[in-house]
């Protein structure tokens, strides 16, 4: 069940984020000091996949100005089971409900393949900054119009809508 995260979920959200194997080594710097807070929940749409097995993953979507997927995490033990794809599809529905037509994604380098399998298209690169000493791919995905259904197009690199 994917539902809106509440302040009581913050410990679980942070545990998923900080427990991610994808953010070890040099990549750990990007999430250090990035605790999710009640203020964050107020300024972003944060939805949690809260299955029978517990919190399986979450995403956060920023809708002020250009829509941007800020975070998408799937707990390590649930990776490869379609949880990330379900969260991504839910994020697109949320963006559609908000009247957004396109979502921008500044991706972790290791996650680009996942986003491309979901239909996102690479459109640029965010250069390295002081804290983040590597460039990050920028992708976009068009939000399905009303009446259209989202179908990811694995491997095509083309938007599914």
Q: By mean pLDDT, which of 14-28, 81-95, 105-119, 135-149 is the weakest?
A: 14-28
What backbone phi and psi angles, to 5 degrees, belong to 135? -80, 155
Residue 136 covered by a domain: yes
DSSP state of 143: P
Residue 24 covered by a domain: yes
Per the CB < 8 A criterion, the answer to whether 141 and 118 are in contact is yes
Calculate the alpha carbon distances from 56 to 49, 53, 63, 145 in Å. Answer: 5, 7, 23, 28
pLDDT at 18: 85
Per the CB < 8 A criterion, the answer to whether 75 and 65 are in contact is no
User: For 18-48, how does the pLDDT look when each residue is reduced to its tens digit (9 = 90+)?
Assistant: 888 777 666 666 677 778 999 999 999 999 9
Residue 29 covered by a domain: yes
Residue 148 covered by a domain: no
Residue 160 covered by a domain: no
What backbone phi and psi angles, to 5 degrees, belong to 159? -65, 135
Q: How confident is the model at residue 148 (pLDDT cuts 50, 70, 90)?
A: low
Residue 93 covered by a domain: yes
Domain containing 126: what range?
2-142
Q: How confident is the model at residue 155 (pLDDT cuts 50, 70, 90)?
A: very low
pLDDT at 150: 61
| pLDDT higher at 72 or 108 | 72
Which DSSP string corresponds to 35-93? ---HHHHHHSEEEEEEETTEEEEEEEEE-SSS-EEEEEEE-GGGTTTTHHHHHHHHHHH
| pLDDT higher at 9 or 152 | 9
Residue 90 covered by a domain: yes
d(CA 157, CA 117): 7
Residue 18 covered by a domain: yes
Q: Count of domains in the chain?
A: 1
d(CA 4, CA 112): 25
Instruction: Kindly report the CATH number assigned to the domain that includes residue 119.
Output: 3.40.630.30
Per the CB < 8 A criterion, the answer to whether 104 and 126 are in contact is no
């Amino acid at each position: 069940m994917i539902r809106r995260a509440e302040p009581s979920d913050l410990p679980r959200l942070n545990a998923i984020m900080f427990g991610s194997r994808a953010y070890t080594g040099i990549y750990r710097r990007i999430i250090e000091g990035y605790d999710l807070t009640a203020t964050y929940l107020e300024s972003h749409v944060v939805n949690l996949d809260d299955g029978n097995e517990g919190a399986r993953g979450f995403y956060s979507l920023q809708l002020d100005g250009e829509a941007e997927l800020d975070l998408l995490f799937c707990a390590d033990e649930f990776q490869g089971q379609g949880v990330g794809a379900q969260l991504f599809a839910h994020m697109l529905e949320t963006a559609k409900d908000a009247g957004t037509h396109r979502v921008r994604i500044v991706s972790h380098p290791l996650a680009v393949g996942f986003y491309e399998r979901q239909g996102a298209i690479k459109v640029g690169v965010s250069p390295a900054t002081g804290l983040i000493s590597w460039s990050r791919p920028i992708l976009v995905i068009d939000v399905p119009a009303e009446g259209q259904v989202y179908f990811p197009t694995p491997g095509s690199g083309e938007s599914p809508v």
